[in-house]
Amino acid sequence: MSTLIIKALFISFGVFLLVSRIAEAQPRYEKATFAGGCFWCMQAPFEKLPGVVEVLAGYTGGNGKDPTYHDYAQKGHVEAIQITYDPAKISYSQLLNVFWRQIDPTDPNGEFVDRGPQYRSSIFYHNDEQKKLAEKSEEELGKSGRYDRPVVTEILQASPFYKAEEYHQDYYKKNPIRYKFYRHGSGRDQYLDKIWGKGRNQEVPEASVEKGSKSSKEELKKKLTPLQYKVTQEEGTEPAFHNEYWDNHKPGIYVDIISGEPLFSSLDKFDSGTGWPSFTKPLEPGNITEKEDRSFFTTRTEVRSKGADSHLGHVFNDGPPPTGLRYCMNSAAFRFIPKEDLEKEGYGQYKKFFEK
């Protein structure tokens, strides 16, 4: 054997050893797939856990290929999350413990305000070990006496997972106030606090912005247009007949421009002839507050949003039946959500009002 051949063999063996050592040094990640209703609410608790590398929102469990947010339910899929994790830093059993603390495992027909098979809770195992751990965990939970109904969460073999549209990824970060409003409004937090106690989520804070918190003046000035800022923060009034929604006849809801709180519906909107959007009643009475306004040498009733404390307008007693009220509002205080976008924007519970 020539010297060149021997050198080549040594070099090849050395390269093999180097590649092997590099491969051994690389973390060996695994995947866990869970469904627990709205995938916005399922991403947040897992994303900052030590050892979790990535959490994706998506669709799985069905037969139809390439599902989208508009057809995943028709294709038999559920909303789910897929977790990539390092088993050397966090175990599958630990992930299961966090999973149970996010859902109602006794509900076979959905989760909280989200109803239908596309929102049912499920565990999708990727190997026999995950299946065994999931079954054991569910059995122990069922015997714990924590629930007064049977635990019915499905344990299924993992099938292709399809990543959801980008606007669904990390929704709790991109839209923190709207996320917190949706999460609280769905009843999820109230139920989980009752079952597990308020310390159930010590593993990760869900969002840095508390429900209803008000952004600083500097942040608001960056976020809002000058007119929006003047109306909502300085009790200003926009020009009549020269504002965005006075003549808007599209079906949908009007939400606070800052917090996203649902305030009024197009179903209660009427033409008052004043040049401002007018409504006979609020969509969610609990989301508005009223206070006496003595400016301009008269006494009026000011209307503000409860969470963001935005000035919205005034309410008068000269409206049409059935309430006899006229909520005269400023377009600049609102963002309009068309009925076709309600679910996508996190206001799916109001969709039924427009389907009658």
Tokens of 184: 């609280």
Catalytic residue among 33, 34, 35, 38: 38
Q: Collapse the DSSP code of 102 into the 3-class scheme (helix H, G, I; strand E, B; otherwise coil) and give the result.
A: coil
129 φ/ψ angles, rounded to the nearest 5 degrees: -65, -45
Catalytic residue among 57, 328, 332, 333: 328
Is residue 172 within 8 A of residue 55, CB to CB? The reply is no
Q: Which helix (H) or strand (E) holds 30?
A: strand 30-35
Is 41 catalytic? The answer is: no
Percent helix, strand, coil in the chain, to 5, is 35, 20, 45
| Paired strand residues for 137 | none
**Cα separation, 309 vs 288, whole angstroms:** 9
Cα→Cα distances 127→58, 92, 155, 165, Å:
20, 11, 12, 27
Residues with catalytic roles: 38, 328
